[in-house]
Chain A
Amino acid sequence: MKIIQNIIFAILIPLVGCQNSKDSESQSIPEAKIVFTEAMTIHDEVMPRMDEIHKLKKELTLQLGKIESKEVIEKIKITISDLEKADDGMMDWMHNVVKYPDQSTKEEGHTGHDHSVHDADTSLSIHLEQKEAIIQVKSDMVSAIDKAKKLVNPK
Chain B
Amino acid sequence: MKSLWIIPFIYFFSCGDIPRQTLPILGRKLVKETIVDGQKVIDSVYPTIQDFRFMDQDSNWITRELMEGKIYIADFFFTTCPTICPVMKRNMKKVYEKYKNDDEIWILSHTIDPKHDTIPVLKKYADAINVDAEHHWHFLTGNRDSIFDLAERSYMVSAEEDPNAPGGAVHSGAFILIDKKGRIRGYYDGTDEQDVLRLIRDIKLLNPKRNNLRK
Using a CB–CB distance below 8 Å, which chain A residues touch chain B? 40, 43-44, 47-48, 50-51, 54-55, 58, 88, 91, 94-95, 97, 99, 105, 111-117
Contacts and interface: CB of A to CB of B under 8 A. Distances in A.
A95 B130 contact: no
Contact of A91 (B113, B125, B149, B168): B113
Interface residues of B, number: 27
B210 interface: no
20 contacts: A40-B82, A40-B83, A43-B83, A44-B83, A47-B171, A48-B171, A51-B170, A58-B145, A94-B80, A94-B81, A95-B113, A97-B82, A99-B82, A111-B90, A113-B90, A114-B86, A115-B80, A115-B128, A116-B80, A117-B80
A115 B125 contact: yes
Given A47-B83, A91-B116, 20 more contacts: A40-B82, A43-B82, A43-B83, A47-B171, A48-B168, A48-B171, A51-B148, A51-B170, A51-B171, A54-B170, A91-B78, A94-B78, A94-B81, A112-B129, A113-B89, A114-B86, A115-B125, A115-B128, A116-B80, A116-B82
Nearest to B170: A51
Contacts of B86: 105, 113-114
A141 to B, nearest CB: 13
Contact of A54 (B79, B82, B128, B148): B148
A40 to B, nearest CB: 7
Given A94-B81, A113-B89, A54 B152 contact: yes
B82 A94 contact: yes
Nearest to B149: A58
A144 B170 CA distance: 19
A43 B113 CA distance: 16
A41 B89 CA distance: 21
B82 A112 contact: no
What 8 A-B pairs are tightest by C-beta distance, nearest first?
A112-B128, A113-B86, A112-B129, A51-B169, A54-B148, A115-B79, A48-B168, A95-B80
